[in-house]
Structure 1
Amino acid sequence: MAVPASMTTFNLSGKFSINKTLSHPAEEILELQGVALLKRKAMGAATLTVTMKHNKNDSGEECLSLEQTIAGLDLGEPEVKVLNWVEQTRDTKLIGTVVTKAKRVKVDEVENAYLKEEWSADTLENGCILVHVAPAGTESWSAEQTWGIGEVNGERRHVRRIAFAGPNKKLEHRFVYDYLGEN
C-alpha cells in the first residue's frame, strides 16, 4: 500500500511491511554478512515489519527509532539512528556488532548512482536519509543505503536502496515497503 500524500522524509513515522514482490530478496546480502542458512531461509519465508518513529531527541537532533519484527525470530532491541553522521556501535542478534552512521543529504550529493534512482519529487527536494553500516572491527562488508519516498509503479512508497560491498562481490538491492498505517 502506498504511503499517504502527506508523508515525506521529514516524517517517516509509521508501520511498514516489506513487499516481497517489489523488493529484491535479501538472502544473498545476509549470506555475505555471515548469517546462517536456517536463519536466512526463515527470514525469506517470513514478513519483516518495521515500526518507525521520526522525531527529534533532547538535543534537537533528527532521529529515526526503528523496531523490526519477524514472527518467530528475535531481532533484538529497537534501534535509534541519530541523523548527525556520528558513528554508533550497536549489537545485533542477526549480524553481530555493527557500526552505523546516518544523515540527511540531498540526493545529488550521494556518490553511488544506483542510490539516487526512482525518488519522489519531494524526496529530491527535501533530501533522503543516507545510512552507512559495517561490522565493527573488520572490513569484511559494508552497506551504503538511501531511505526515502520512492516512485514505484506509479505509487509513493517507503523505499530503501542499498549498495552492498562484500567479500569479492558488490550488490545493488531495493527494498520496498507497504504502508500499514500510523504507529
Structure 2
Amino acid sequence: MAVPASMTTLNMSGKFTLNKALSHPPEEILELQGVQMLQRKAMGAASAMFTVTMTHSKNDSGEETLTLAQSLPGFDLGEPEVKVFNWQEQTRDTKLIGTIVTKAKRVKLDEVENAYLKEEWSADTVENGVILIHAVPKEGEWSVYQTWGIADINGEKRHVRRFAFTGPKRSVEHRFVYDYLGEN
C-alpha cells in the first residue's frame, strides 16, 4: 500500500510492513550479519507479520529523530530504537545481532558516495534529502550504509530503504520496500 501523497522524508511517521514481492529477501543480509539459520528461516516465514512503527519528531535539543518500534510475533525484538540525525555514534544492544554502533543524518544525494544508494528516489526526497545511516557491529566484522526515503515504485509512493552491505564474505546491495499500514 502506498504512503499518503503528503508523506516526505521530513515526516515519515506511520506504521509499515515489508513488502516481500517488491523487496530483496532479508534473509541474505541476516546471514551475512551472523544470524543463525533457524532464526533466519523463522523470521523469513513470519516476515509478513513484521511491523515497524516510525515516529518522526525532534528531541529536547531540537535535533531531528526517528523512533522505530518493531514487532514480529514470536520474537523479542527489544526496545524501540531512536535514531538521532546528528551523525554521532549511538550504541545499541540488539537481540539478533548483538551490539551495534550506528549514526544517522539527513543528506542531499550528492553527499552519498555509493551510486546504488542514490537510485530511484522521488522528487521530494531528492529535494528534502535522504536519511543516511551507517551501522557496524561492536566487533567490526561488517558494515552497512543505508539510505531511507520515499521512492516511486510501480507508480506508487513507497517508503524504501536501500542497503550497501560490506562483509568479510561478500558485499551486497539490497532494497527493502514497505507497505504503509496507516498512522501510528
Q: The TM-score by the shorter chain falls in which range?
A: over 0.9
Identity %: 75
Q: What residue is the counterpart of 2:35 in the other structure? A: 35
Are 1:106 and 2:83 matched, yes or no?
A: no
SS at 1:39 equivalent: helix
SS at 2:133 equivalent: strand
Please state how far the C-alpha of 1:144 moved relative to its aligned partner: 0.2
Partners in 2 of 1:5 and 1:120 — Cα distance? 11
Q: What residue is the counterpart of 1:50 in the other structure? A: 52
Q: Aligned ranges for residues 1-183 of structure 1 at < 5 Å? A: 1-47=1-47, 48-136=50-138, 138-183=139-184
Q: Any gaps of 5 or more consecutive residues in structure 2?
A: none
Q: Any gaps of 5 or more consecutive residues in structure 1?
A: none
Please list every run of at least 4 consecutive aligned residues from structure 1 whose deviation after the TM superposition is greater than 2 angstroms.
none
Partners in 2 of 1:42 and 1:168 — Cα distance? 23
Partners in 1 of 2:21 and 2:43 — Cα distance? 15
Amino acid at match of 1:17: T
**Count of matched residue positions in the alignment of Structure 1 and Structure 2:** 182
SS at 1:23 equivalent: coil
SS at 1:46 equivalent: helix
Aligned-residue Cα RMSD (Å) equals: 0.7
Partners in 2 of 1:53 and 1:119 — Cα distance? 21
Per-residue deviation, residues 59-87 of structure 1 (Å, max 9, x unmatched): 00000000111111111111000000000
Partners in 1 of 2:76 and 2:70 — Cα distance? 9
Partners in 2 of 1:65 and 1:10 — Cα distance? 14
| Contact 2:32–2:169, Cα closer than 8 Å, also in 1 | no
Please state how far the C-alpha of 1:139 moved relative to its aligned partner: 2.3
Per-residue deviation, residues 40-97 of structure 1 (Å, max 9, x unmatched): 0011111221000000000000000001111111111110000000000000001000
SS at 2:20 equivalent: coil
Please state how far the C-alpha of 1:32 moved relative to its aligned partner: 1.2
TM value normalised by structure 2: 0.97
Partners in 1 of 2:72 and 2:83 — Cα distance? 20
